[in-house]
Amino acid sequence: MAQQDSSSLSVEAASVRTQQSAWQRMRDNGSVRFGASFLFVLIFISVFAPWLGTVDPTLFDAASRDLLPGKTGEIMTLEGDVLKHQFLMGSDSFGRDIYSRVIYGTQVSLLVGLLTALASLALGIVFGLLSGYIRWVDTVVMRVMDGLMAIPSILIAIALVALWRGSIATVIIAITIPEIPRVTRLVRSLVLSIREEPYVEAAIAIGTPTWKIMLFHILPNTVAPLVVQGTYICAAAILVEAILSFLGVGLPPDIPTWGNIMAEGRPQFIQYPHNIFFPGIFLAITVLAVNILGDGLRDTLDPKMAKRL
């Protein structure tokens, strides 16, 4: 009996799968668009800070202390000139322009956020890959990470900054260290689960050496969750830096950061709330935008993680 050409009748031939590429999905996602555009605005602000109607944020003038938002006053430059200046967000108890300080503060926050995210991702990837692959490294590293995670991260950050004196580098290191265990855990669990996948076993069977497997099979499949995690770390880092500065244990007061501005505004909060509200709102919206970006990335790049968090 001549066998019918089953391929034409086969159910499989009937359905063709179309799928949008990851890029397209990302571009279409509202959260990604909102978060990313906000991030661009922030980057713009921090790069073009000197040209946005600001003055040097460290300038102060005793005659212009505690001005309410919108008032004009004068400010003395380093050369001794006296300028007329409108204090869009008011001035603090030293007579510094809050608007300028908030704008310049964007630089610090972005720097801290991005560098912390990059550093913790990089170190976490290294530790996580090694733990996922080498058993004795795994036992040692995971015990240390468990211990590290047992200490609430803000305490570690506070302690480290207290010990090493505040500067951008130490703050970044202090915030990075508590974030490493979480990234390590994530990478490790990804490595362990991807290793079980048949396509990795197939790669072993066709003789691919371990380092190539790590580089070409495992790592590319971890990019998506790591990008999402990195975004969240960026948001958390910006927050932690602000908290540290607010408590007085962060960056030195001469560097304008949103937390520092708020710290200085504490004593007169009830009479002059603008010291706290303006930087506070900037801070909240920035962290919100980055978190929303993270949510959007997670929904488009890594739907499995969406179920977990």
Partner 1 sequence: MTPVLEVKHLHIALPSEGDRRHAVSAVNFTVGRGEIVCLVGESGSGKSVIAQSVMGLLPKSLPVSDGRILLEGEDITHAPLSRLRELRATRMSMIFQEPMTALNPVMRCGEQIDEVLRAHTKLSESERKKKIIAMIEEVSLPDPERMFRAFPHQLSGGQRQRIMIAMALVLEPVLLIADEPTTALDVTTQAQILHLISELQRKHGTGVLFITHDFGVVAEIADRVAVLRLGDLVEIGPKDALLMRPQHDYTKMLIAAVPGIHPKSKARQADAPVVLQVSGLDKRYGGQGWFNAKHQEVHAAKSVSFTIRKGETLGIVGESGSGKSTVARCVVRLIDPSAGSIDLEGNDLARLSGAKLRALRKRVQIVFQDPYRSLNPRRTVGETIMEGPMNFGLSREEAARRARSLMAWVRMDASVLNRYPHQFSGGQRQRISIARALAMEPELLIADEAVSALDVSVQAQVLELLEEIRQRLNLAMLFITHDLRVAAQVCDDIVVMSKGEVVEYGPALEVFNAPKHAYTKSLFAAAPGRDFPFHQAASAS
Partner 2 sequence: MIAYISRRLLATLPAIAVVAVLVFMLLRLTPGDPAAILAGDAASPEQIAQIRANLGLEEPLLVQFGIWLKQMAMGDLGESFYFKIKVIDLIGQRLEPTLSLAALTILIAVMVSVPLGVLAAWRFGGWFDRMLMGFSVMGFSVPVFVLAYILIWLLSVKLGWFPVQGYKRLADGFGPYLYHLILPAVTLSVIYIALIARVTRASVLEALGEDYIRTARAKGLLESQVLVKHALANAAIPIVTVIGIGVALLIGGVVVTESVYAIPGLGRLTVDAVLARDFPTIQGVILFFSLVYVLVNLLVDLSYVFFDPRIRY
Question: Where does this chain bind partner 2 (CB under 8 A)?
Answer: 143-144, 146-155, 158-159, 162-164, 235, 239, 242-243, 246-249, 262, 269-270, 273, 276-277, 280-281, 283-284, 287-288, 290-292, 295, 306-309
Choice between 60 and 278, CB closer to partner 2: 278
Choice between 185 and 217, CB closer to partner 1: 217
Rounded Cα distance, 123 and 26, in Å: 27
Closest alpha carbon to 181 in 151, 158, 159, 161: 151
CB-CB contact of 273 with 261 (8 Å): no
**Would you give the binding string for partner 1 spanning residues 169-198, x where CB under 8 A is met?**
----------------------------xx
Asked if 9 is part of the footprint of partner 1 (rule: CB under 8 A), the reply reads yes
In this structure, which amino acid lies at residue 168? I
Asked if 201 is part of the footprint of partner 1 (rule: CB under 8 A), the reply reads yes
**Considering the complex, what minimum distance in angstroms separates the CB of residue 238 from partner 2?**
9
Binder of residue 78, out of partner 1, partner 2, none (CB less than 5 to 8 A by kind)? none
3-state secondary structure of 97: strand
DSSP secondary structure letter of residue 21: -
Asked if 11 is part of the footprint of partner 1 (rule: CB under 8 A), the reply reads yes
**Considering the complex, what minimum distance in angstroms separates the CB of residue 34 from partner 2?**
11
Place of tokens 């890594």: 302
Rounded Cα distance, 286 and 100, in Å: 17
Helix, strand counts (H, E) of the chain: 14, 2
Does the CA dihedral 110-112-114-115 come out positive or negative? Answer: positive
Rounded Cα distance, 263 and 257, in Å: 10
Asked if 207 is part of the footprint of partner 1 (rule: CB under 8 A), the reply reads yes
Give ∠ CA 137-143-146 in degrees, rounded to 5.
130
Among 58, 93, 189, 221, binds partner 1 (CB under 8 A): 221
**Considering the complex, what minimum distance in angstroms separates the CB of residue 163 from partner 2?**
4
CB-CB contact of 121 with 127 (8 Å): no
Rounded Cα distance, 28 and 22, in Å: 10
Tokens found for residue 160: 């480290």
- Beta-bridged to residue 82, according to DSSP, are 76
Asked if 135 is part of the footprint of partner 1 (rule: CB under 8 A), the reply reads no
Within 30-59, the residues that bind partner 1 by CB under 8 A are none
Asked if 206 is part of the footprint of partner 1 (rule: CB under 8 A), the reply reads yes
CB-CB contact of 89 with 69 (8 Å): yes
Choose the stretch contacting partner 1; rule: CB under 8 A; options: 26-34, 213-221, 249-257, 264-272.
Answer: 213-221
**Considering the complex, what minimum distance in angstroms separates the CB of residue 167 from partner 2?**
13
Among 150, 205, 271, 304, binds partner 1 (CB under 8 A): 205
**Considering the complex, what minimum distance in angstroms separates the CB of residue 5 from partner 1?**
9
Choose the stretch contacting partner 1; rule: CB under 8 A; options: 162-170, 176-184, 209-217, 245-253.
Answer: 209-217
**Interacting residue ranges for partner 1, rule: CB under 8 A:** 1, 3-4, 6-7, 9-12, 14-19, 197-209, 212, 216-217, 220-221
